[in-house]
Amino acid sequence: MKLGLRKIRRDLGWRLRRYQARWVRARSKAIFIGITGSSGKSTSASLLGHIMGAHGKVHLQVQANTIVALIRTLYKRLRRAGPVDYVVFEAGASDFGTIDAMAQMLKPDVAVVTMIRLEHVGKFRTLEAVAQEKRALVDALKPDGIAVLNCDDPLVLAMASGAKCRIATFGQAENADYRATDVGAAYPEPLRFSLRWRGGVLDLQTPFPGEQFWLPAAAAVATALELGAPPEKVAARLASFDPLPNRCKVQQVEGGPQFLVDTAKAPWHSIDIALDMMAKAKAGRKRIVLGQISDYVGSTRKYATAYGIARDIADEVIYTGDNAHRSRASQADRDSGRFTELRTPKEVSDHIKRTAVPGELILLKSSSNLHLERIALAWTHDVRCWIPACGKKEGCQACGLYEVPFEEHKSFLANRRLEHRRRRFGWLFGGLGLTRRS
């Protein structure tokens, strides 16, 4: 009986929050921008929010990109934040119908689509199915809306067909409305490129370490220009952007190694991109740490293929996690130290600490479940949470508990909540005799 009542209360609460979210959206005068795609959407959304922050109040929601996050953004955060000028929301697809549900709630004025790749293979199976799911964001636009589409991707460009809104394209193709040219990056030299559009040519300098970031940068810049942002301010804001943690974020250790931390996701299509970035980088010594590849179909072949490419780039390749044995590295490579197989992130961290060379460049590449960012964090923090897979989706920086052993997380959070309540309701706790323990 109690379980039934709890379910009823949860269902009623969910319906109430959905109603409140729709109420807030209907009354908001902000410009709502939805960004989706298989890769690049978090960076595009964050960068666009940063650019438009120079022209008005922005509410940005990235990484937590589900319908639950959208409803929370609308009914809770926007309601409390007061009037805003722009809402930038990253929409992620995890199942059929997820984008459509968010699009109907968001009712975007602008929709941006970065690219279509085969992620969530077990669910979508084909590129066409992924594209159909993402297209729901464009289909939700009104006639006065704007769809900003990557014209280099045929499946994205096809979303223009039948669309009732205005279309603006970006890409490296000659027919792009916003054409990226002269793209170049070779770490430590950051990405630079030119964007040619009807208003002229913008020469752009970015903080990104690899050429692949031209796409989210071009998507954000094109959207900002479509919204009327002055070109010179757009360029200045792009140059001042601080890249997102764990998405090829650079961490330099004084007197130690340099890390390229790319541990937020690792679909198969992104592995070549990360390895190409390392190949073009300039460093006296290079090492590559590969953890979990997100795609499970053909995983043995993928790990072996990745090792074959990485071996020609790096002085040492380190595989870690449950699939570390799939590299097919030769015994000669193992004996010479060209390949190292270690099961846990803690073992990798200890190995790198023992063998680090000042100024060397180390790529950390994995899906988020292994939290390989801890290997870089351990050079500047006392990392004490080394459980191989904690089950948390957010990065360690967002979690903030990496200096607390995993088995103490629950008690630590409980004590922190209690301390917060004591500070907020100190008079009540004191009256009840609930004094702080020494």
User: Residue 338, CB half-sphere, CA atoms under 13 Å: how many?
Assistant: 17
Minimal CA–CA distance to 289: which of 345, 364, 347, 339? 364
Q: Are residues 229 and 303 in the same domain?
A: no
Q: Are residues 22 and 103 in the same domain?
A: yes
Pairing of β 166-171 and β 189-197: unpaired
User: How many structural domains is the chain composed of?
Assistant: 3
What one-character DSSP code corresponds to residue 153? Answer: S
User: Residue 201: in which H helix or E strand, if any?
Assistant: strand 200-205
User: pTM of the entire structure?
Assistant: 0.86
Minimal CA–CA distance to 108: which of 69, 60, 142? 142
Q: Are residues 198 and 170 in the same domain?
A: yes
Token code pair at residue 201: 């040519």
Q: Are residues 289 and 382 in the same domain?
A: yes
Which domain range does residue 123 map to?
2-239
CA distances (Å), origin 209, targets 172, 184, 191: 19, 10, 6
212, 239, 266 — which closes off a domain? 239
Q: Are residues 308 and 436 in the same domain?
A: no
Reduce the DSSP state of residue 285 to 3 states and report it.
Answer: coil
Question: What's the CATH number where 297 sits?
Answer: 3.90.190.20
pLDDT confidence tier of residue 334, bands split at 50, 70 and 90: very high
CA distances (Å), origin 51, targets 54, 82, 209, 272, 289: 6, 21, 19, 29, 33
Give 126-171 pLDDT, tens digit per residue. Answer: 888 889 999 999 999 999 999 999 999 999 999 999 888 999 999 9
Cα distance between residue 345 and residue 430, in whole Å: 45
Q: Are residues 254 and 227 in the same domain?
A: no
Q: Are residues 226 and 292 in the same domain?
A: no
Give 273-327 pLDDT, tens digit per residue. Answer: 999 999 999 999 999 999 999 876 657 799 999 999 999 999 999 999 999 999 9
Q: Are residues 268 and 313 in the same domain?
A: yes
Q: Are residues 280 and 235 in the same domain?
A: no
Q: Are residues 54 and 130 in the same domain?
A: yes
Give 199-217 pLDDT, tens digit per residue. Answer: 999 999 999 999 999 999 9
Question: What's the CATH number where 100 sits?
Answer: 3.40.1190.10
- How many Cβ atoms from other residues are within 10 Å of residue 269's Cβ? 15
